A = this chain, B = another copy of it.
Amino acid sequence: MQTPPQTPPRMNATEQAYQAIRKEILTGRLEEGERLTETRLSDDLGMSRTPIREAIGRLILEGFVERQGGYTTRVAHFPEDEAEQVYEIRRLVECYSVQRAAKLATEEDIAALREIHAQMRRDTPPGDEAAYERLTSANEAFHRTIVAAARSPRLTALMTTALDVGMVVRTYSMFSARDLERSLAHHAEIIEAIEARAPDWAASVMSAHLLAGAWRVSVRSGGRRTEGEKADD
């Protein structure tokens, strides 16, 4: 069984470039403020400048990259309270989404959510790096699916920005086993609320879910990113 709302990974060069550059930024290999040049990137990634340009354009719209003056392109600077802001915004958008989803979700949507959830459950004992990768991307898929289930193309477009940015936070806060357990409980309850067609219930859980994440982040980092402190205990 597959997850229908997910884009089948038909990766053209532009998409590849986008994913690659974004990942470099999210993992911190490309540092804040670092200068990007299309030529160097096209060399590094082994493709021409055209797909690089398109990828960078997208990253600029999403706020990961910024132009400075006419001819310099830099990795965007993320302010101290970035994480809190992101969670605040996500809370706005996703609570609304899940309310709509509770009214409009189809059986397929719910099945997809269940599937993702089961997948995350299986990966729960977090050990290796790969499992962590799968968990975070599954988590992202979960939230994306909910937004998609809200059946509002505008919300979906919005989430392209907001959720991607949410991943910035990923580097800041790694799941602890206990946090992960709670996240999964939240997810399960959200699914239940959607199935029950209970918008307010769903929204409340989502709100808690994201506030818990925000709090975890702010505590972990004390407002500052503490490099290398992967709390995957």
Please measure, in the bound complex, the distance between the C-alpha atom of A61 and the C-alpha atom of B152, giving whole angstroms.
Answer: 14
In the complex, the answer to whether A85 meets B54 with C-beta atoms within 8 Å is no
Is A194's beta carbon under 8 Å from chain B?
A: no
Q: Which residues of B contact A157 (CB under 8 A)?
A: 61-63, 161, 165
With CB as the reference atom, state the residue of chain B lying closest to A93. Answer: B92
Is A9's beta carbon under 8 Å from chain B?
A: no
Is A58's beta carbon under 8 Å from chain B?
A: yes
Find A92's partner among B61, B92, B153 (CB 8 Å cutoff): B92
**Contact A162:B153 (CB < 8 A) given known A54-B54, A57-B54:** no
Closest Cβ–Cβ distance, residue A56 to chain B (whole Å): 10
Using a CB–CB cutoff of 8 Å, the interface residues on chain A facing chain B are: 50, 53-54, 57-58, 61-63, 76, 79, 82, 85-86, 88-89, 92-93, 96, 152-158, 160-162, 165
In the complex, the answer to whether A61 meets B158 with C-beta atoms within 8 Å is no
Closest Cβ–Cβ distance, residue A214 to chain B (whole Å): 13
In the complex, the answer to whether A89 meets B162 with C-beta atoms within 8 Å is no
With CB as the reference atom, state the residue of chain B lying closest to A62. Answer: B157
Find A153's partner among B53, B79, B154 (CB 8 Å cutoff): B79
In the complex, the answer to whether A61 meets B160 with C-beta atoms within 8 Å is yes
In the complex, the answer to whether A96 meets B86 with C-beta atoms within 8 Å is no
Q: Which residues of B contact A154 (CB under 8 A)?
A: 63, 82, 85-86, 89, 161-162, 165
Find A57's partner among B57, B85, B161 (CB 8 Å cutoff): B57
Selected A-B contacts with CB under 8 Å, 14 pairs = A53-B54, A54-B57, A57-B57, A57-B58, A58-B61, A62-B157, A76-B153, A85-B155, A89-B93, A92-B92, A93-B93, A154-B165, A158-B158, A161-B161
Q: Which residues of B contact A155 (CB under 8 A)?
A: 85, 89
Residue among A79, A93, A155 with the highest chain B CB neighbour number at 10 A: A155
